[in-house]
Amino acid sequence: MLTKLPSPFIMAHRGASAHAPENTLAAFELAYQQGAPSIELDACLTADRQVIVIHDNSLDRTTNGRGPVKNQPLAALRELDAGAWFGPQFKGEKIPTLEQVFETVGKKLFINVELKNYSTPADGLVDEVVKLVLKHNLADRILFSSFLPPNLTRAAKLLPQTPRGQLIEGGRTGWWQRLAANFMALQAENPYFEDVTAGMVKRAHARKRRILTWTVDDPAEMRRLRAIGVDAVITDDPLLAKENFL
Ligand code: G3P
Ligand code: MG
């Protein structure tokens, strides 16, 4: 499916997160309504090993809960409100499970699942996500991405036909991910947008890799990236990207 997406295309970062609370079903549905063919989301495990969709390690910023996500079982997390912080019209939005996202938009959006177990890299997150991908028959509608190369190596072993994109941190911090990406079997490289150059795009394309860059919310940057042949911007604002990147 990644190879079938047109270039350029828009990937809604945490859903249409400029217009709806990030990583909620409302944000993913809105991305679809706004015409984005794909979304990015952040996946991690609950205390009882269920896969949920939330960006931060802590509940504090995007829910009415407090403390670390990984200490809570799913039932407790599902009690929380994950929408009211963004606006009163979103009160009642919950932290979604990955399974709910697959059920709701899995057949209509291409999904970039960022494997977000950065503070618990040996927790078996990849295996749990792969089980859900297989259960919902979505192996050709998913991209795995992660800043941690071993997550993608594990995904390649379990589900070799599903594409993988190495996330690369900005500037010098990303040197080791850049190095690892050279030696890995990947279908995409996901660098920080300020680092993307025409040469990088050309080299990636020569290796049949796509460049999916984050997080691009500036119209001038969208136009620059389009001009040098970037395949996708991962953006909070699909409407802005429709005007400036497509
Ligand atoms: O996938 C791009 C982007 O989501 C990576 O950073 O922190 O927004 O998950 P972050
Ligand atoms: Mg992310």
Whole-number Cα distances in Å, 28 to 15, 32, 68, 136: 4, 7, 24, 18
Q: What pLDDT digit, counting tens, does each position of 136-181 carry?
A: 999 999 999 999 999 999 999 999 999 999 999 999 999 999 999 9
C-alpha angle 31-51-104 in degrees, rounded to nearest 5:
35
Give the pocket of ligand 1 (CB within 6 Å). 13, 40, 42, 55, 114, 145, 167, 190, 214-215, 234
Q: CB–CB of 195/170 below 8 Å?
A: yes
Domain limits at 158? 2-244
Residues with CB under 5 A from ligand 2 (ion): 42, 114
Number of domains comprising the chain: 1
DSSP 196: -
By C-alpha distance, which of 159, 152, 167 is closest to 130?
159
Q: What pLDDT digit, counting tens, does each position of 36-72 carry?
A: 999 999 999 999 999 999 999 999 999 999 999 998 9
The best mutation among 11, 13, 210 to test binding of ligand 1, ranked by most ligand atoms within 8 Å of the C-beta, falls on 13
Amino acid at 167: L
Alpha-carbon gap, residue 64 to 6, rounded angstroms: 39
Q: CB–CB of 221/239 below 8 Å?
A: no
The best mutation among 114, 189, 216 to test binding of ligand 1, ranked by most ligand atoms within 8 Å of the C-beta, falls on 114
* Å from CA of 57 to ligand 2 middle: 12
Alpha-carbon gap, residue 190 to 233, rounded angstroms: 10
Q: What pLDDT digit, counting tens, does each position of 196-234 carry?
A: 999 999 999 999 999 999 999 999 999 999 999 999 999
* Å from CA of 11 to ligand 1 middle: 12
| pLDDT confidence of residue 2 | 76
Residue 212 phi/psi, 5-degree rounding, is: -115, 110
* Å from CA of 4 to ligand 2 middle: 23
Q: Does the predicted model carry a pTM greater than 0.85?
A: yes
State the CATH number of the domain containing residue 133. Answer: 3.20.20.190
